[in-house]
Copies of this chain bind each other. A is one copy, B any other.
Amino acid sequence: MPKWLTMDAPESDVVVSTRMRLARNLADVPFPACLRGRDDIEKVHEGARQSILKSSAFEYMRLGETDTLKKRALAERHIISPELARRRDGALIVNEDESISVMILEEDHYRLQTLSAGLTPDKAYGEVDLLDKMLADGVEYAFDEQLGFLTSCPTNAGTGLRASVMLHLPGLAATKGMPRVSAMVAKVGMTVRGAFGEGTAAAGALYQISNQVTLGVSEQEILDRLTTTAKTVIEFERGTRTELAKSLGVALEDRVWRAVGLLKNARRMGGAEAQRLISDVALGLSLGIAGGLSSSEMYKLMMDTRPAIIAEMHGKLSPSQRDVKRAEMIRDVLTQRCTG
């Protein structure tokens, strides 16, 4: 489903994806929270449409006219925020594989976003920078010589850049290493949290590290800090996995193979169990336990089997129908590909 999540991306044994997000506002239109005039609203929409829809790679959708199932799925894929999904006057501009998008009238007039697989900050930033230049060609940004880009919330002002990586950290999660990671990243002005919001990492061991500070640093400094931090956490995670494999031995092999067995055979499966088992298999793959699949395929499966994404693909289902469908989707992927 997330087509941008390609195989063999850099550091994909630990890194799911890299994301860049720029906050931008028009110079002569009130921030969204104060925006009431129909003309001003249309001006925000038109600015982005005329700049970006010149390229036929993009699609424009008004969220007030978008199907609810579709909006929920977009939110689960982190293409729109739940807040934007609820705004009737908001819109989304997005390319075909959803790797490049613009949220219109979220907290800021524009939120430009790019996603790419693995640890790829230069690629992701290059793309968001290009998108920024396309948009800047057609509109005048709210920009202050002293402060930089102006944003609704002061924490985003300056560069307006939020750079993040999504990491799969089953080793650190299993060994209570996450508090150390939190402390470590906090020291360089970054933060770590569950990939699907606070406290959501438990099942799949997916975490997001992003910069806290957007002001008083350059874009390059933010990227460098993210890369350095990510590489440190990656090494920490890899070391922990090797230690786990050594200390647990057959117990870890057993856990991974049982996960394979359940994923290949279960006839219904809840979301949390699926996340946990797929995470176990991804851990196993990185240690040479089990084979025939890639970590990226496991990350894809973790995302594709989230509730709203299943509903987007298969229509509205009851929770128990969804559990049956989830098990079926997982069997399809694993039976085709997995040895064991």
Contact = CB atoms under 8 A, between A and B. Distances in A.
Contact of A262 (B250, B262, B267): B262
Interface stretch (A83-91, A233-241, A253-261): A253-261
Contacts of A261: 258, 260-266
A115 interface: no
A251 interface: yes
A122 B76 CA distance: 66
Interface in A110-148: none
A324 interface: yes
A319 B153 CA distance: 61
A340 interface: yes
A231 interface: no
Which of A261, A264, A340 has the most chain B CB atoms closer than 10 A to its own CB? Answer: A261
Contacts of A257: 265-267
Interface in A256-295: 257-258, 260-268
A327 interface: yes
Contacts of A260: 261, 265
Interface of A is mostly: helix
Contact of A268 (B250, B263, B324, B340): B250
A327 B265 CA distance: 17
Nearest to A251: B268
A327 B340 CA distance: 14
A52 to B, nearest CB: 46
Nearest to A289: B267
A258 B327 CA distance: 11
Interface of A: 250-251, 253-254, 257-258, 260-268, 324, 327, 340
5 contacts: A250-B268, A250-B324, A254-B327, A258-B261, A260-B261
Given A254-B267, A257-B267, 20 more contacts: A250-B267, A250-B268, A250-B324, A251-B268, A253-B267, A254-B266, A254-B268, A254-B327, A257-B265, A257-B266, A258-B262, A258-B267, A260-B261, A260-B265, A261-B261, A261-B263, A261-B264, A261-B265, A261-B266, A262-B262
